[in-house]
């Protein structure tokens, strides 16, 4: 089952990367906000949330895109 989760996180990370690369900040919000909401409602653990947001740690050369996201969604 851990292998399935790893594959899911890899697929999710690729989707996040592609969305970020297109500067589709609304798309990023749509991908990530459900996990923030689920965590806030205690439906997923901190570890689950960390795995989703941890996909950013493997990305390189995306600083400009991340800066654009923060500027477009400063409360995100």
Span 9-66, pLDDT tens digits: 999 999 999 999 999 999 999 999 999 999 999 999 999 999 999 999 989 999 999 9
Scanning the structure block, which residue is given the tokens 């400009």?
A: 64
**Residue 1 pLDDT > 50, yes or no?**
no
Give the C-alpha separation, 44 to 37, whole Å. 9
Quickly list DSSP for 4-40: HHHHHHHHHHHHHHHHHHTT-HHHHHHHHHHHHHHHH
Cβ pair 42, 33 in contact under 8 A = no
Give the C-alpha separation, 54 to 9, whole Å. 9
Domain boundaries, the chain: 2-72
């Amino acid at each position: 089952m851990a292998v399935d989760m790893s594959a899911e996180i890899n697929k999710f990370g690729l989707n996040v990367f592609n969305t970020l690369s297109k500067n589709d900040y609304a798309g990023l919000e749509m991908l990530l906000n459900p996990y923030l909401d689920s965590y806030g409602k205690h439906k997923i653990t901190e570890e689950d949330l960390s795995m989703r947001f941890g996909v950013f740690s493997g990305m390189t050369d995306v600083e400009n895109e991340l800066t654009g996201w923060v500027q477009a969604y400063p409360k995100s």
